[in-house]
A = this chain, B = another copy of it.
Amino acid sequence: MDYVPHSQIPGHKSRQTGAVSLKGIKKQFNFKDRELKVLSEFSLDVQPGEFVSIVGPSGCGKSTLLRLIAGLDDTYDGTITLDGQRVAGTSLERGLVFQDHRLFPWMTLEDNIGLALTNRNIPKDAKAKLVADHIALVGLKGFEKAFPHQLSGGMAQRAAIARSLVNEPKVLLLDEPFGALDALTRVHLQTELQRIWLAQGSTMIMITHDVEEALYLGDRVVVMQANPGRITHTVDVNLPHPRDRASPVLHKLKDEILAELTHVPEPSNPVVRLIKGDDQ
């Protein structure tokens, strides 16, 4: 197909940096007296400025994976590097949109978003403008002074997206960012995300349950399976951005991925493999 590397897409600001590499990641949780294997031998290389979508069944370890990349959890085996540097702790270079919005209940919408800029060395009114722009971007104008409990589910999620975007991180990790949004708002925000991605040349890793969305945005779609969480399939989407949602290529790929996702023994009832806590 007429694949154009995204670095050659007009308007795509190419970056040399932002390469995320995961090698042999193993992660388990202590669950009661047993060990729950969540990720096993998980390896993935993401190019600078690449957009990777991840799809996979509920509970397969997607959120866990993002937490590891973000540096929120370092109790795992294997290595995670950003541009060759081993990831240790969090960094403003790696942004994260949590699956739940995690707005601070005591801050107004404005302050919640402003929080992301606390440690950015820019003048106060530039910060205020950035915040205002991002509130407008996610369609929350008029709610600057609202507390989180006064927002609807979708509004809170949009606020969380704004918070992560305002920072322009080199790598942005998104955990089902559009899950609670209606079709229209969703399309709008997908477009905006793509525009920002193209403009900033940042690396994006996005978890989604919407295969269409994964294909529409991603340079690559990673399909995961559970027990333990691992990659079963990777789909390259060799289409230029922005794409035509109705493109037959995308439709074909969608059917392929959905088939892959349904091709699981007992898919609807993911049985958990609980391993006795030995040190195997």
Contact = CB atoms under 8 A, between A and B. Distances in A.
Interface centre among A99, A136, A182 (most CB of B within 10 A): A182
Given A58-B185, A63-B153, A146-B31, A139 B268 contact: yes
Contacts of A12: none
A258 interface: yes
Interface in A132-164: 136, 139, 141-143, 145-146, 150-155, 158
Interface in A233-280: 258, 261-262, 264, 267-272, 274
A154 B59 contact: yes
A73 interface: no
Interface string A53-80: 0011111001110000000000000000
A272 B183 CA distance: 19
A184 B259 CA distance: 10
A181 interface: yes
Given A32-B145, A145-B32, A152-B63, A58 B272 contact: no
Interface centre among A56, A187, A209, A267 (most CB of B within 10 A): A209
Given A31-B150, A150-B29, A57 B184 contact: yes
Q: What is the size category of the interface that chain A forms with chain B?
A: 35 or more
17 contacts: A55-B182, A58-B152, A58-B154, A58-B181, A99-B153, A99-B180, A100-B100, A100-B153, A139-B269, A141-B269, A141-B272, A153-B175, A183-B209, A183-B211, A183-B258, A184-B264, A186-B209
Interface of A: 29, 31-32, 55-59, 62-64, 99-100, 136, 139, 141-143, 145-146, 150-155, 158, 175-176, 179-188, 209-211, 258, 261-262, 264, 267-272, 274
